[in-house]
């Protein structure tokens, strides 16, 4: 039971805030403006559209490397946006993200088992939950399609199940324990299936069972059944997509880890973004302090949040305290609730270490930012000092991290004078004379694939150059596929156009000649939308007539 049973006033207060809280965050998301983030324009919108309309095989990498991401998580947002106005969609997305409040409350309630007055326990749990929800990272992502604060529902939900039931995972009923941790693993694994970087929490929450206490066999089986649940969750939400990528590109994670799978569709590279990972042990140890001073060390925008830093410091102190206590007594609290609390602290710590090694991108750490106040509460409760001191230290820390937080901005679009029934993405593209005989080319790094639904559906889009693909990569199959389509279009007399940002028109002279094409030396036309500034649509022609090209092919 996660609600007061004796104090009716506390129960009503908790129920009221927990029921209203998610919708208040939904309202907050709508007030912040429409989401127009780079990833939405690059792939979240296009991938769902391509999946639903079967454009695979027609387009080639229009969303750059993200063209190959699992579209499952993008489908609800895209489908809702076809039916409801943008303001309603923002409200609904923010409300779903706001549901993290309920899970954080549950976790904060459970780590206070020693607190007997229900009203105090309820107020503390609510305060800690709100603190977890107003972090600089979480608020910046509120109402956006990055989904890190949607995936957090699976992570926090999995942890809540794992430590719930009075620490049932460490209780005498082994069957009940294994079923519980398998369900917890299923939740976390579902998050991994929907968004692969969630793997850091799958590893951390699984490995924590090995260290939280119990007999060696019990610890091993807890980790095993949790891992089985993780694999089941991954298969449930990403099995279909991994099979698709394997069937079409001979790499179930394409293009990632292509240095292992050697798919001929890409280069033999890992394609990992590791530029944020700190170099060296000292830099890694001081990393929370470093990004507190310079947030660009962990992402692309400026924000401020000290929750993880505060939890980092508290956990170091708590670890030292527990080590000293163990050194004196050679024993630790072996009750199930105590092991559940240790598990929570270990799961947070190990997940952070895995994140530090694999990504060090702050967005992927949002579930831990949310969980940090709960970790602080749980860790300080282990300090061998009077309860009043523990309560005061916890309160001061949570007030400080809340007061100093500053959210970043991910390219929100102000509502302005847009009508209430305006949709998320509205595109106005020039009419094309022969859409059945048109090939659309894309170059540069700007996110432009969200514009594709604004064109006739029979037009293929080929991205000749981006941060993922380039003609210098030679005869990889993606390049070969585009070259063959262009050569066939030239032979058939198709019309060619280039969709490009106005600051990347340099690609007309530097990229298109590599495919036997050039600009038509006539004004480009604007393609306008509600999510970005106008892009350009430029007519493209062959460097030489088809007959001459057959005798002198461009390689």
State pLDDT tens for residues 127-139: 999 999 999 999 9
- pLDDT tier, 555 (very low <50, low <70, confident <90, very high otherwise): very low
One domain, residues 351 and 386: yes
pLDDT score of 333: 84
Characterize 323-343 residue by residue with b for buried, 16 or more Cβ atoms within 10 angstroms of its Cβ, and e for exposed.
eeeeeeeeeeeeebbbbbbbb
One domain, residues 226 and 350: yes
Residue 142 lies in a domain: yes
Number of domains in the chain: 2
One domain, residues 317 and 442: no
pLDDT tens per residue across span 482-510: 999 999 999 999 999 999 999 999 999 99
Hey, what are 507's tokens?
């690609």
Question: What is the C-alpha to C-alpha distance for residues 372 and 400, in angstroms, rounded to an integer?
Answer: 13
pLDDT score of 392: 97
Residue 321 lies in a domain: yes
Hey, what are 130's tokens?
């709100």
One domain, residues 233 and 302: yes
Which residue range is the domain that position 450 belongs to?
427-551
One domain, residues 440 and 394: no
Residue 272 lies in a domain: no
From residue 341, how far is each of 55, 91, 129, 137, 165 by CA, in Å? Answer: 49, 35, 17, 25, 12
Longest dimension (CA), the chain: 89
Nearest CA among 519, 534, 527, 532 for reference residue 455: 527
Question: What is the C-alpha to C-alpha distance for residues 269 and 266, in angstroms, rounded to an integer?
Answer: 8
Of the chain, the percentage scoring pLDDT greater than 90 comes to 92
One domain, residues 287 and 379: yes
Residue 290 lies in a domain: yes
One domain, residues 363 and 474: no
One domain, residues 352 and 287: yes
Nearest CA among 142, 53, 156 for reference residue 408: 142
Beta carbons within 10 angstroms of residue 553's beta carbon: 10
pLDDT score of 514: 97
One domain, residues 187 and 317: yes
Nearest CA among 474, 541, 464 for reference residue 504: 464
One domain, residues 396 and 465: no
Residue 273 lies in a domain: no
pLDDT tens per residue across span 218-249: 999 999 999 999 999 999 999 999 999 999 99
One domain, residues 302 and 232: yes
Residue 243 lies in a domain: yes
């Amino acid at each position: 039971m996660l609600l007061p049973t004796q104090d009716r006033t506390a129960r009503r207060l908790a129920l009221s805030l927990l029921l209203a809280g998610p919708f208040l965050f939904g309202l907050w998301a709508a007030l912040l403006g429409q989401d127009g983030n780079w990833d939405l324009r690059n792939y979240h919108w296009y991938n769902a559209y391509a999946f639903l309309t079967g454009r695979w095989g027609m387009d080639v990498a229009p969303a750059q490397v993200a063209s190959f991401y699992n579209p499952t998580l993008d489908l609800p947002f895209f489908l809702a946006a076809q039916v409801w106005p943008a303001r309603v969609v923002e409200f609904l997305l923010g409300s779903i993200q706001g549901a993290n409040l309920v899970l954080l409350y549950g976790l904060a309630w459970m780590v206070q088992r020693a607190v007997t007055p229900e009203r105090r326990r309820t107020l503390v749990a609510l305060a800690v939950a709100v603190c977890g929800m107003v972090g600089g990272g979480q608020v910046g992502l509120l109402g956006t399609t990055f989904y890190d604060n949607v995936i957090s529902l699976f992570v926090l939900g999995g942890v809540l199940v794992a430590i719930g039931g009075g620490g049932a995972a460490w209780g005498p009923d082994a069957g009940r324990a294994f079923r519980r941790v398998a369900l917890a693993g299923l939740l976390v694994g579902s998050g991994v299936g929907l968004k692969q970087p969630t793997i850091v929490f799958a590893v951390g929450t699984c490995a924590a069972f090995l260290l939280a206490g119990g007999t060696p066999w019990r610890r091993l089986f807890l980790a095993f059944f949790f891992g089985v649940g993780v694999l089941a969750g991954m298969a449930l939400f990403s099995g279909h997509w991994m099979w698709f990528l394997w069937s079409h590109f001979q790499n179930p994670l394409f293009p990632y880890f292509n240095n292992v799978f050697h798919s001929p569709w890409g280069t033999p590279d890992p394609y990992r973004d590791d530029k944020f990972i700190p170099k060296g042990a000292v830099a890694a140890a001081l990393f929370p302090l470093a990004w507190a001073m310079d947030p660009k060390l962990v992402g692309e925008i400026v924000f401020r949040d000290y929750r993880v830093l505060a939890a980092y410091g508290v956990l170091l102190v708590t670890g030292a305290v527990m080590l000293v206590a163990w050194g004196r007594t050679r024993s630790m609290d072996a009750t199930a609730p105590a092991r559940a609390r240790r598990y929570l602290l270990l799961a947070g710590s190990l997940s952070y270490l895995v994140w530090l090694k694999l990504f060090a991108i702050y967005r992927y750490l949002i579930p831990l930012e949310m969980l940090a106040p709960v970790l602080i509460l749980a860790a300080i409760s282990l300090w061998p000092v009077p309860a009043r001191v523990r309560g005061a230290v916890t309160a001061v820390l949570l007030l400080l991290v809340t007061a100093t937080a500053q959210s970043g901005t991910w390219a929100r679009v102000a509502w302005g004078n847009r009508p209430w029934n305006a949709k998320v993405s509205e595109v106005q593209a020039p009419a094309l004379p022969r859409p059945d005989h048109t090939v659309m080319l894309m170059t540069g790094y700007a996110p432009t694939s969200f514009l594709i639904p604004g064109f006739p559906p029979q037009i293929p889009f080929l991205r000749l150059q981006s941060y993922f693909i380039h003609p210098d990569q030679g005869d990889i199959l993606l390049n070969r596929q585009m070259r063959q389509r262009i050569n066939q279009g030239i032979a058939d007399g198709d019309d060619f156009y280039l969709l490009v940002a106005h600051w990347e028109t340099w690609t007309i002279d530097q990229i298109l000649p590599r495919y036997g094409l050039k600009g038509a030396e006539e004004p480009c036309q604007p393609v306008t939308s509600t999510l970005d500034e106008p892009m350009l649509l430029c007519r493209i022609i062959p460097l030489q007539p088809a007959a001459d090209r057959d005798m002198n092919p461009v390689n």
